[in-house]
Homo-oligomer: A and B are copies of this chain.
Amino acid sequence: MSNASLLILPGDGIGPEVMTEVRKIIDWYGAKRDLTFDVSEDLVGGAAYDKHGTPLHDDTMAKAQEVDAVLLGAVGGPKYDNLDFSVKPERGLLRLRKEMDLFANLRPAQCFDALADFSSLKKEVVAGLDIMIVRELTSGIYFGEPRGIIEEGNERVGINTQRYTESEIDRVARSAFELARRRNNKVCSMEKANVMESGILWREVVQKVHDEDYPDVELSHMYADAGAMQLCRWPKQFDVIVTDNLFGDLLSDAAAMLTGSLGMLPSASLGLPMANGRPKALYEPVHGSAPDIAGQGKANPIACILSFAMALRYSFDQGDEATRLENAIETVLADGARTADLMGPEGGTPMSTSEMGDAIVAAL
């Protein structure tokens, strides 16, 4: 594969240790499958703040714009809780999303057979679950202006603005319909059109994109509160869910938890195609930086490794190799490999982060 460049941003907490395992996988692909990547590494989040006083240095931003794909670990930690809003670790991640214009955040919520017992939901509710949440990632209340804390009369007022243009809704709707065509051909769009005008426009544009260009895909609309309910009640009713930045944040986290596989779930954030045809892209696990277990070799590297699998599929057109990697993970799980987060009440000795990485390499 020519000129495949990867920027690795391990970030904070367990980010660096799970990324070490991803490196093993990347090395395996180079050695055994002749898939070589031009890999560079840099800082993001608290780690970048510690060194540069900003959660994302301009040079890192520039590099991210140039590579084919960014692989990010996690950002944040209690150490940074009292930093000013503008330099919090999260701002580094949000800047990447915004400036790379990564408008389509793909969050599969999948229940691994070997782990169906881990869910707080009944096994029959989650076994075999495989849904895809497409969350708009560059607009909405995360970025809308005006925003801030202002003085008004004799008190302060906290303000944020939800703002969606037709074209912002249009493009993420297209991503959802395209994905649905390669899956079970069903899209459910979620908003609060009963109370928010931005939701009315959202619903209207999604419907229009559907009617004009994707009439073959089954489309439904649901209020986001009802969507939260239905995800908890019978998640298998869904195939692809498309929703805005804020609703997507809550709904995809709830969906991830339902699967019982939180430490297992990857995500892809995709933007427009670059000159070489590859989309701007950032891949990261859904889990956070888990500061409580950082540096102890307890973290589960699978979500981050599966994020690399998504990179193979969506950035490098290596769907077969992505499937190979996913199957290797299924195999080690079926063989009983478990990091600490996957230990049941029966107990036993968990694998370390690096043992899990090694097991996956072996299964490849």
Chain A interface residues (CB < 8 Å from chain B): 76, 85, 88, 90, 94, 120-122, 125, 141-142, 144, 147-149, 152, 155-167, 192, 194-202, 224-226, 228-234, 246-247, 249-251, 253-254, 256-258, 262
Contacts and interface: CB of A to CB of B under 8 A. Distances in A.
A121 to B, nearest CB: 5
Nearest to A253: B225
A157 B164 CA distance: 5
A225 B250 contact: yes
Contacts of A148: 197
A140 to B, nearest CB: 10
A258 B122 CA distance: 11
B253 A197 contact: no
Given A149-B197, A196-B141, A250-B228, A120 B163 contact: no
Nearest to A190: B250
Nearest to A123: B122
Contacts of A90: 194-195
Closest 7 CB pairs of A and B: A158-B201, A158-B198, A229-B257, A225-B253, A228-B254, A155-B166, A160-B162
A50 to B, nearest CB: 18
Nearest to A252: B225
Contacts of A251: 228, 250
Consensus secondary structure, chain A interface: helix
Given A162-B141, A229-B253, A254-B254, A167 B155 contact: yes
Contact of A257 (B76, B152, B224, B233): B233
B229 A228 contact: no
Contacts of A85: 197, 200
Nearest to A146: B161
Contacts of A161: 159-162
Nearest to A159: B163
B246 A228 contact: no
Contacts of A156: 165-166, 201
A59 B107 CA distance: 49
Contact of A120 (B88, B199, B233): B233
A191 to B, nearest CB: 9
Contacts of A250: 224-225, 228, 247, 250-251
A160 B120 contact: no
A166 B153 CA distance: 11
A338 B162 CA distance: 43
B192 A246 contact: yes
Contact of A249 (B159, B225, B232): B225
Contacts of A199: 158
B164 A162 contact: no
A18 to B, nearest CB: 19
A225 B141 CA distance: 15
A77 B264 CA distance: 40
Contact of A194 (B88, B228, B229): B88
A158 B253 contact: no
B147 A197 contact: yes
